[in-house]
Amino acid sequence: MKIIEAGVELVDDFDAAAIMKKIERAGRVCYKSEGNITCDSAEKFIRGIIKRGHESVIEHATVSFKIICDRGVTHELVRHRIASFSQESTRFCDYTAGKFGGELTFIKPCFWNDDDENFKLWKETMALVEKNYLALRANGARPEEARSILPNSLKTEIFVTMNLREWRHFLKLRTAKAAHPQMREVALKIYSILAEKLPAVFDDIQP
């Protein structure tokens, strides 16, 4: 049994300046103000349209992340629209196979310390799940059958693409204190990347 922490990976290290220029070019069509484009006009323009709520303009750019989290988080994540998702399948992935090391991987709950009694109970439960999953497979159960005992804590990988407007919507909801702690853990990691690379689009969210 492996226990790991949630993580995110920016799939394409995009050219932030090029995205900003594209958004400005698209937005200025609305006002026929293309003549006002300069080498450094994009940031002010984009901050202005976001402040005015004209966020449809930022839908012209998309960003993709590979997110490693537990399946409980993905149940919430895939409720977001508009977005594209490609997720690791417990039906077609055989965790007894060599590429998985013949063991299950679980995401450590971010709300319990290692010495917490609840964490110890959780860890014992995950060990039992792994033992019984492997036993089911040894008894001839197919992966799509054995998966019926797999918990929310099972590690999964999901490839997520959203346009910038939808990422803003996602981050406003999922970085809030009322969000589920494990979803918020993932959202804050995404926010830190996007706010650094595209501050004009994201730094007003302020988790």
Q: What is the pLDDT of residues 119-128, one digit of tens each?
A: 999 999 999 9
Give the start-to-end residue ranges of the domains of the chain.
Answer: 1-13+61-207
Span 98-111, average pLDDT: 93
Predicted local confidence at residue 131, as pLDDT: 97
Question: Is there a cis peptide before residue 50, judged by omega within 30 degrees of 0?
Answer: no
Residue 6 in this model has a pLDDT that exceeds 90: yes
User: 3-class DSSP state for residue 106?
Assistant: strand
Q: Does domain 1-13+61-207 have CATH number 3.90.180.10?
A: no
Q: What is the pLDDT of residues 105-148, one digit of tens each?
A: 999 999 999 999 999 999 999 999 999 999 999 999 999 999 99
CA 182, 187, 193: angle at the middle one, nearest 5?
Answer: 140
Residue 101 in this model has a pLDDT that exceeds 90: no
Residues in the chain: 207
Distance in angstroms (rounded) separating the CA atoms of residues 34 and 87: 41
Q: What is the pLDDT of residues 43-52, one digit of tens each?
A: 999 999 999 9
Predicted local confidence at residue 77, as pLDDT: 96
Residue 91 in this model has a pLDDT that exceeds 90: yes
User: 3-class DSSP state for residue 63?
Assistant: strand
Query: Which residues does the annotation mark as catalytic?
Result: 174
Predicted local confidence at residue 189, as pLDDT: 98
Q: What is the pLDDT of residues 140-183, one digit of tens each?
A: 999 999 999 999 999 999 999 999 999 999 999 999 999 999 99
Predicted local confidence at residue 134, as pLDDT: 96
Percent of residues, the chain, with pLDDT higher than 90: 94
